[in-house]
Structure 1
Amino acid sequence: MQARFEGKSIIVTGAGSGIGRAVSRAFAGEGGRVVCADLTEGCEETAALIAADGGTALAIRIDAGSEPDVERMVALACEAHGGIDVVHANAGISGGIAGLFEGTPEQWTKILRVNLIGPFLAIKHAAPRIVERGGGAIVCTASVAGLRSGAGGVPYSASKAGVISLVQTSAQQLSGSNVRVNAVCPGLVETGMTKRAYDYAREKGVEDRIGRLNPLRRGGEPEEIARVVLFLASDEASYVNGQAIAVDGGLSSSHPVTRQEFGKTAA
């Protein structure tokens, strides 16, 4: 088994389920010492799973969009593990499938606070600690919805486009620091965020239609995203910086959608 992260100090936000849990377990499985951060008790469950597997993990409940909470998270990693080498800023919410005219400022504010301000705060407070260790990597979870239209609600898509821009500008701001910043852009993956759609498809007996718009004709698994996150965080990706990597079964090669005409209700 590879041990690319032996002894490395790693933070994962949104670690309580789905992609964040898969990534946390994958890092720990390769020797990483992981701080599992989440708003829910799921972070403690993830840390317990890692411990049961013989790995090293701590859990902390935080609001990813709260600066004091992010500062607490960074301090915990530094105190417990001597610094920070890798951050996966993964916490996010969908906010529902809101269109341009249905959304409210309150809804937009809530989504942007978690999905965009959260990664900003993680980079702001963790990057200096990574620099102190001689360099490392930050990976943010964006989405294929942030690449172009057709894969999510309007505020969610805008927030994830913002993450991609944040990654690009942060990579430039950190020039010469040996800290790389990249984004992973998942397509449809079975997580808590997509549970309703998966449950509905199974209830209706049309599970085989999930992911049918991508060339692989299936949805993804959290572990498939985790493998790309670990690659981007590892020395194997030492010359990859400021990039947004789609992991979507090929969906973003075209993003086929049924378009709704302005002023008309979708059939």
Structure 2
Amino acid sequence: MSSYKLCINTGLGFDLPMAERLALVKKAGFDGFFSEWRPGAPVAEWAARAKELGLIYQSIHAPFNNVDKIWEEGPDGEAFLKVLMDCVQDCADHQVPLAIVHAIIGFDKHTPSDLGIERFERLCRFADDRNVYLGFENTEGEEYLAKIMTELKGHPSTRFCWDTGHEMCYNRSKDMMALYGDQLIGTHFNDNLGITGSEITWHDDSHLLPFDGVANWQGIMDRLRRHQFKGPLTFELTRTNKPGRNTHDPYAAWDYGTFVNQAYDRAVRVAAL
């Protein structure tokens, strides 16, 4: 039996009330979950339901739609910093220990600014004061993650969230754990087909179930253990095809319960490697 707790995201490409999702996540065998977040999200309600079910509320994924503005002059950057702070505050208020944050959005972005670091340092101080960790995720724009992880490493809240699928496409299979494994706080485990065209796009980031893509799961688990990670293995998956793709067609007929049951079986296989 694996010693790892197993967690999963709750959306999965379905439209279903959160209370029903969490009940099915629990029934499938998962120990916990993470949720997406938006301003006004009923986190208190979700946390209460999790407590009733005995589920770990592992993390909250902060919005990332305008995170590029953090690095730029102007009021939009300050406004989005406030959004991230509000998300962290929700984590603190409802005993969710971790907020997942993207450093950047945009494949054409390669020049992180000192202004962006100043703003992210304010976010780190805000999180430090509330005992919330920030899991900065590997995405496109590796320069931005590198600047945060290097310049803000002294903050207790500054940690790394390892997305295996992003590593395979956005990071061209570069070993992100070799760079940031010593700061690892959480995982987003998922599979994909790697880089499928001449240009990397978000369409390659398919978030397939483990073993349905080309990921080396034995190698992933070996790298995880090399850094002695003891936290939950958290999976980020979806039933939904990206535009113009048919990678998820095998899942099309599954309802939410079937999908999370299949996901749990794959998670157990990964954890046993």
Question: Which TM-score bucket, shorter chain as reference?
Answer: 0.3 to 0.5
When normalised by structure 1's length, the TM-score is 0.38
**TM-score of the two chains, using structure 2 as the length reference:** 0.38
